[in-house]
Structure 1
Amino acid sequence: MPLKFIHQNYLKYNKGKGFICCHVDALHATPPAADLFTDKIVENLIKKTGCAGIVGTVSRNHADLNRSPNGDNDEGIKEYRNAIKDILEFLDILDHVNNHLTQPYLHLSFHGMKDIHHGPYAIEVGTVHGQSCSMEIRSWFEEILTKKALEIIPEIEVVFDKKFIGNKSIVFHRLGDGKGYSGYHHNFNTFQIELSRTVRSKHCSKIVDIFSRIINDFQTTFVIN
């Protein structure tokens, strides 16, 4: 059964089943300059876990949603941030008094990198050197991703914050940007996931398996039901 999305001008999103404290996104899914296969990964994770998901429907050349507002992408960024807020409200974990989250929350943003960066079997995770997540969640994520990835794709290399540390805009969901977007504070944890071309194109189902296990573990380990 096909997923039902809320379609807007710059993106489409699915709010999930309303109990998994996570959303996944593929902001660079649309050509030209698309991160190919990232939309399929996101859609399959929504189906498999019941989490929410956001897919960019315009090219990054038109409006890059993985950046700070820069005059050219302002309306797209507004839509993106509003979609995140809608998901958090649907989960009923947003304290409107102080705009804090009442539960830990996981945000996985999927992107594509070339095989030349770390080899054909590689995942790089960016956290802007730990600014986009808590130290506790980062340690958990590094341990579980490395373990699950090696179990499913033994030749995989997993690296953190080396070449693709993540755009500073992923920190704003947690700490705010000082320009009117306050973010959601300490419970919001973002990881920018860069997947090599070979892994995306030839092992899409395995990637979905890896990250579905991680999402489910996050829910059982950190979220109070």
Structure 2
Amino acid sequence: MSLKFIQQNYLKYNKGKGFICGHVDALHATPPAADVFTDKIVESLIKKTGCAGIISSVSRNEADLNRSPNGDNDHAIKEYRDAVKKIVEFLNILDDEQNHITQPYLHLSFHGMKDTHYGPYGIEIGTVHGQSCSPIIKKWFLETITRKASEILPEIEIVFDEKFIGDESIVYHRLGDGIDYSGYHHHFHTFQIEISRTIRSKHRSKIITIFSHMINEFQKNFVNNYS
């Protein structure tokens, strides 16, 4: 079954089914300079889990959605941030008065890296050294993905916050940028995920299984039990 997306000028998004507190995105999905297969990963996770998702429809060379506004990408960043807001509004977890979300929220941003960085089975998780998520959620994420990856694809080597720690813009969803984007406060947890070319091209179904598990476990452990 094909997914229906809301088309915008710089991206397309799907609000999900309304019960998973989180979204996945592929912000460098469009050629040239595309992180190939990241759009396929996002589409599959939307279908498999019911979460929301955002996929770029312009190249990063035209407007990089994984950055702060810089004069050249301002309209694109506004559109991206508006899409995130539409998703949290659809989930009915936005406190309009405070502009904070009221439930734990998981944001997985998928990117591609070369096999030469950590080998053909490398994955790096970036949190800007813990600024884009809470210490509790980071610890849970590390332990859960390590355990699940060892079951599904034991060759995977996972590193955290070494070469690709994440652009500072991923922190702003949580803490705001101090200018005109207030962020969504402490319930918002972002992980930037860099995946090797080999995994994206040859083991995509396995990586989708791993991250489906992460999304469902987050929902079960932190959202459904939240009070």
Q: Classify the TM-score, shorter chain.
A: over 0.9
1:174–1:183 contact (8 Å) kept in structure 2: yes
Tell me the residue number matched to 2:217.
217
Runs (4+) of structure 1 exceeding 4 A deviation are: none
Q: Distance in 1 between matches of 2:61 and 2:162?
A: 25
Q: Within 5 Å, give how 1:46-195 maps onto structure 2.
A: 46-195=46-195
TM-score of the superposition, structure 1-length normalised?
0.99
Q: Which runs of 5+ in 1 are unaligned?
A: none
TM-score of the superposition, structure 2-length normalised?
0.98
How many pairs does the alignment contain? 225
Q: Which runs of 5+ in 2 are unaligned?
A: none
Q: CA deviation at 1:133?
A: 0.2
The one-letter code matched in structure 2 to 1:90 is: F
Q: Distance in 2 between matches of 1:114 and 1:20?
A: 31
1:111–1:193 contact (8 Å) kept in structure 2: yes
Cα shift readout 1:62-93 (whole Å, capped 9, x = no counterpart): 00000000011000000000000000000000
Q: CA deviation at 1:100?
A: 1.1
Determine helix, strand or coil for the equivalent of 2:68.
coil
The one-letter code matched in structure 2 to 1:2 is: S
1:132–1:174 contact (8 Å) kept in structure 2: yes
Q: CA deviation at 1:140?
A: 0.3
Root-mean-square deviation (Å): 0.6
- The percentage of aligned residue pairs carrying the same residue is 76
Tell me the residue number matched to 2:45.
45
Determine helix, strand or coil for the equivalent of 2:90.
helix
Determine helix, strand or coil for the equivalent of 1:125.
strand
Cα shift readout 1:119-156 (whole Å, capped 9, x = no counterpart): 00011000000000000000000000111111111111
